[in-house]
């Protein structure tokens, strides 16, 4: 199988992504995926979710790599319970996600932010 090298930085075997999208109504949409580029384009084209298809996507604000789908889904569920101020803090500071998650679950997580340059590149798709 030939691997698409363009996906090298956005899709890694066994890794999942947590992401926050800004919608045109200024609300945040939080989701998980194993292919951030493809998922963002799906949202942008109005087919990603019921919410983003009705509220329209403005941009990808941030994304993080997590070691597995289960962990990504767990972190997604926990941060969806946060208020908008906290979610904005998550976008600006990855440590705040770790702290918030640990406070809610008493579990430490490994989470790495996707570089701003990659987020910017995805936003231009």
Question: How do the domains of the chain map onto residue ranges?
Answer: 15-123
The pLDDT of residue 12: 45
The reported pTM is 0.87
Question: Which residues, 6 or more positions from 73, have their beta carbon under 8 angstroms from its beta carbon?
Answer: 16, 32
Looking at domain 15-123, does it have CATH number 2.60.40?
no
Q: What is the mean pLDDT of residues 112-121?
A: 96
Over residues 77-108, the pLDDT tens digits come to 999 999 999 999 999 999 999 999 999 999 99
Give the integer Cα–Cα distance in Å for 40 and 101: 24
CB proximity list for 2: less than 8 A, separation 6 or greater: none
| Count of CB atoms situated within 10 Å of the CB of 40 | 26
Task: State the CB neighbour count (10 A cutoff) for residue 77.
Answer: 12
Which pair of structure tokens corresponds to residue 35? 């292919």
**Would you say residue 4 has pLDDT above 90?**
no
Tell me the pLDDT tens digit for each residue of 11-56: 445 789 999 999 999 999 999 999 999 999 999 999 989 999 899 9
* Mean pLDDT along residues 70-80: 96
DSSP code, position 111: -
Q: What is the model's pLDDT at position 15?
A: 87
């Amino acid at each position: 199988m030939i691997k698409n090298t363009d996906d090298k930085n956005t899709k890694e075997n066994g890794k999942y992504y947590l992401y926050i999208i800004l919608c045109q109504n200024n609300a945040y949409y939080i989701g998980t995926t194993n292919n951030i580029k493809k998922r963002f384009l799906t949202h942008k084209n109005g087919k990603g979710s019921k919410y983003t298809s009705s509220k329209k996507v403005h941009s990808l604000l941030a994304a993080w790599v997590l070691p597995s789908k289960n962990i990504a889904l767990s972190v997604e569920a926990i941060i969806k319970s946060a208020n908008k101020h906290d979610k904005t803090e998550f976008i600006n500071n990855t440590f705040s996600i770790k702290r918030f998650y640990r406070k809610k679950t008493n579990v430490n997580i490994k989470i790495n932010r996707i570089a701003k340059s990659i987020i910017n590149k995805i936003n231009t798709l």
